[in-house]
Structure 1
Amino acid sequence: MENINKIITSYLDLFFKNHKFASIPKFILLKRRRNFLRKIFSSRAEIRYINNKVIITLYVLNRERNLLKKKYISSTRLIKEYLFKRFFFFYKKKLSKIHRTFNLLSKKYIFLPSKMQKKLYIKSKIESLNKLKVFKTFYIEKIWTKLIDYYLTFHFTRLRKNSLLYYLNIFKFNKLNMLWVLTAILNKLNVLRNKKIEYNIINLKYVTNHPDFFTNVLALRLKKQKMKGFREIAKILNRTYIPNVNTIQERTFIPSTFKNKLKNLNLVSYLQNKKVNEVFNTFEKGSSNDIYNSIKYKNLGGIKVEIKGRLTKRYRADRSIYLLRWKGGLKNIDSSFQRKSAIFLRGNVKSNTAYSITASKRRIGAFAVKGWIAGK
């Protein structure tokens, strides 16, 4: 199982062999690239064996794709702005001189009946205007070629780099383009007994949606010497959104006869301007959101982060630091307060919680980050 997770993480960290192909100025080592926060984070693979195939479920947080998309949009906007700014600068500076010279030439030919006929005067004016038009278009083309050749090489290389990295990121999750490479590696190593592999990739939006994500992020950030543990945990906890729920109502036990009938415990709110028979009829019909409300653990109930290890500032591993912070609660409301039976998964693992641990090391020693999230 551990080998499969390592293969999947190394596959998601794939990059161009030649860094000059993607117009990257200097080569970055793979060891350093793995420590980047702008990459694809994946959870531990959940493998399910069937007779003829294997289903691998992966939860993915694609931070690289969102960042590259923003960079691509900003670089295209900058190119447009820079192009037009430079063009108008040359246009005002040079083409104004062209207009002056043509105005001086046109003033030489003055229409007088004794000296010049009216037809010849109009003909000379049209010829000068045509010359001005041709010269103007020629000079505008010259300005654009000069801008593209000399001034915008940096911007176009940057745009090419972002587009190539973005398409590489998309191809990693495409069955036709690159996902078959992962299946070939797994079948070559005979990790999954040469069975047909089916991938179930779930894209998550936030770091706090899975404990594997924020434990990996914290472990990468705490590798740096200037990072402080409490501050980094606070950043994770501030990003967690826990819905506002009436905890008193949620934790009070209601008998089964009145359960799922009342929105709150105040019967007065139902009896105002209504008859008793109408109230009981509404209880029997039920609401249209019964299916959605029957899904358990769809909302985040709480989060807990624990850090322990050699996280001191000094260059001596003589002291271990222990940090613990949480937000919300990890208790199962059904079993703890509503007197319902709860299923335990794999021994003592609760059905409403997900747990993860990530071990890492610094210059002065090793440390570990533990994470829990609970649903309700």
Structure 2
Amino acid sequence: MKVFNNNIKNIPKTITLRNKVGDIRNKKYLPSFSKEWKNIVYSYNKNNLNNIPVNDVNINKIIQSYFNLYFKDYKYVGSKKFILLRRRRNFLRRIYVSNAEVKHTNNKAIITLFIVNREYKILKNKYLKINKRISKNLINRYFLLYKNNIIKIYEILNKQKNEYAFISNKISKRKFLTYKLKYLNKFIKLKNLYLKKVWSIIISKYWKTYLKLLRKYDLMYSLNQYKFNKQILLPILSNILNKIIGKKVEYNIINIKSIAYNTDLFTNALSLKLKKKKMNYMKSMFSILNRAYLPKINTIKERTLAKNVDLFLDKYKDLKIISNMGAGSNNNLDKLLGSYTNTKEVHNTIYNSIGYKNMGGIRLEVKGRLTKRYRADRSIYSLKWKGGLKNVDSSFKRLSSVLFRGNSKSNVSYSLSNSKRRIGAFAVKGWISGK
């Protein structure tokens, strides 16, 4: 085979058949497979796929419990009472995590997580507020007294020095300098003693209220940040997930500004709110809907059957760069793109070709035992929405669109979360549409 390959110049060429100029038309927008299936994997042995649904449930439970980590010893943080695990799980100031989207390769598994770190913002604001109080009220008050008293000590010592200065002409310079050094050492000792006394008053009076809280918020803040650190706590999580998946784990953690931009996040947050005794399900639903900001678009203009002006349409036979540059040509990619547009226009055309990047609408549905009193009332049903869930391209512009898992739309993400109260169970459903 070596002799055959060396002697015969067998240069392979890819020849595209039946390619005509103007083959490009308005094509379907295909979103990522992770939006359809939360776990993307292919294996020749079908028995390996049987464990995937169970593994997904275990992975999501482990990840959520990892981001809800708390100090075991409550006295170490400085809290007076022991917080039960059940109560800790119902805290609203926490790290909200979506369900994991796992993409498998031969060697590793890439886990993407959407996160809203609400605990980080609350702890930071509390720490800064207490720090301002300490700096304004306490330290300024006591250091004003410290300054005034230090000046008094200096004046008393200075009087004695001035009295001795009259006799300095009769005494040698060395004796005079030693006398000065003696008084300076006395002054430094008195200054240090007084400074210690000031700090002891501050610590004794305000340790219980301010400084303990500062230490508590500092420790909780550091724990919050260690959860995202690749060198401290994330390797422990990856070791646990390694045993379930059987591959190396990589994380793709995406921080979102608001809960309303992911269905997994706001359904979990709403179910936690509705667990509480003093709750109003209507107010809590509207609080999530008001956080969703929809772009201001002219709906009449958007839904008209206008022709889509595409710069690539009827100009090139396909969107492959090599075929458009031509075989054997020494043209650069910059020359090819710069021949008909600027770099800004290219960037805009690529960005505009991405579908479902704007929020089209949000919908919330709550059903279950959500009465305030402990009695066997019927289940309550409530539905609220903002915007719409329709796919504008398929329903108004008559463009073809993809369907996920049978009848589910490609532009809509859906999630459901179940929970319990003392009266009974309830469920929260959420939808988000893009356009």
1:314, distance to aligned residue in structure 2 (A): 2.8
% same residue: 49
Amino acid at match of 1:49: H
Contact 1:211 1:356 in 2 (8 A): yes
Contact 1:252-1:337 at 8 Å conserved across structures: yes
Q: Is the 8 A contact 2:150 2:191 kept in 1?
A: no
Give the partner amino acid of 2:252: N
Q: What's the counterpart of residue 306 of structure 2?
A: 254
1:197, 1:130 → 2: CA distance?
A: 65
* 1:297 is aligned to 2:339: no
The alpha carbon displacement at 1:292 in A equals 1.6
* Aligned position for 1:271: none
**Equivalences, count:** 345
Among 165, 172, 176, the alignment partner of 2:220 is 165
Tell me whether 1:60 sits opposite 2:112 in the alignment.
no
1:70 maps to 125
Tell me which of 333, 336, 356 is aligned to 2:392. 333
Unaligned stretches of 5+ residues in structure 2 = 1-55, 171-175, 313-339
**Residues 16 and 127 (structure 1), Cα distance of their counterparts in 2 relative to 1, 3 Å cut:** closer
For residues 69-95 of structure 1, give each alpha carbon's deviation from its aligned partner in whole angstroms, at most 9, with x where no partner exists: 222333333332244233145337856
- Matched residue type, 1:236: I
Distance 1:139 1:248 in 2: 79
Task: Please say if 1:10 is aligned against 2:62.
Answer: no
Do the aligned partners of residues 118 and 201 (structure 1) sit closer, same or farther apart at CA in structure 2, a change above 3 Å counting?
closer
In structure 2, do the counterparts of structure 1 residues 141 and 341 end up closer, same or farther at CA, with 3 Å as the change threshold?
same
Q: What letter is aligned with 2:108?
A: K
- Tell me, in whole angstroms, the C-alpha distance in 2 between the residues paired with 1:291 and 1:93: 69
Q: How far apart are 1:97 and its partner, in Å?
A: 6.6
1:227 aligns with 2:279: yes
1:165-219 CA-to-partner distances (Å, cap 9, x unmatched) read 222112212222111212222344xx32x22222221111101010111111111
Equivalent of 1:81 in 112, 136, 153: 136
Checking the alignment, whether the CA contact within 8 Å between 2:153 and 2:187 is kept in structure 1 is no
* Aligned ranges 1:47-126 → 2 under 5 Å: 47-88=102-143, 90-91=145-146
Q: What CA deviation, in whole Å up to 9, does each residue of 1:242-282 have, x standing for no partner?
A: 111111111111124x4679xxxxxxxxxxxxxxxxxxxxx
Once structures 1 and 2 are overlaid, which stretch shifts more, 91-100 or 348-357? 91-100
Aligned residue in 1 for 2:234:
179
**TM-score, length-normalised on structure 2?**
0.70
Aligned equivalent of 2:247? 195
Q: CA deviation at 1:136?
A: 6.2
1:9 deviation in Å?
A: 0.8
- Distance of 1:117 and 1:36 partners within structure 2: 76
Contact kept, 8 Å, 1:302 with 1:373, in 2: the verdict is yes
Counterpart residue type for residue 327 of structure 1:
K
Compared CA separation, residues 356 and 144, structure 1 to 2 (3 A): same
2: CA distance, partners of 1:139 / 1:53: 62
Aligned residues of 2:241 and 2:249 also touching (Cα < 8 A): no
State the structure with bigger RCO (CA 8 A, min sep 6), 1 or 2.
2
Structure 2 Cα separation of the partners of residues 210 and 165 of structure 1: 26
1:32 maps to a residue whose letter is R
2:291 match = 239
Q: Are 1:375 and 2:434 an aligned pair?
A: yes
Distance 1:234 1:260 in 2: 43
Shift of 1:160: 2.3
Q: What CA distance in whole angstroms lies between the structure 2 residues aligned with 1:103 and 1:175?
A: 60
Change (3 A) 1:134 1:164: closer
Q: 1:36 to 1:356 in 2, by over 3 A?
A: same
Query: In the alignment, is residue 145 of structure 1 matched against residue 228 of structure 2?
Result: no
Unaligned stretches of 5+ in structure 1? Answer: 262-283
Equivalent in 218, 227, 250 of residue 270 of structure 2:
218
- Please tell me the residue identity of whatever aligns with 1:13: N
CA RMSD of aligned residues (A): 3.2
User: Partner residue of 2:53?
Assistant: none
Residues 15-34 of structure 1: pairs in structure 2 closer than 5 A:
15-34=70-89
CA contact 1:308–1:368 (8 Å) conserved in 2:
yes
Distance, in Å, in 2 between the alignment partners of 1:131 and 1:16 is: 48
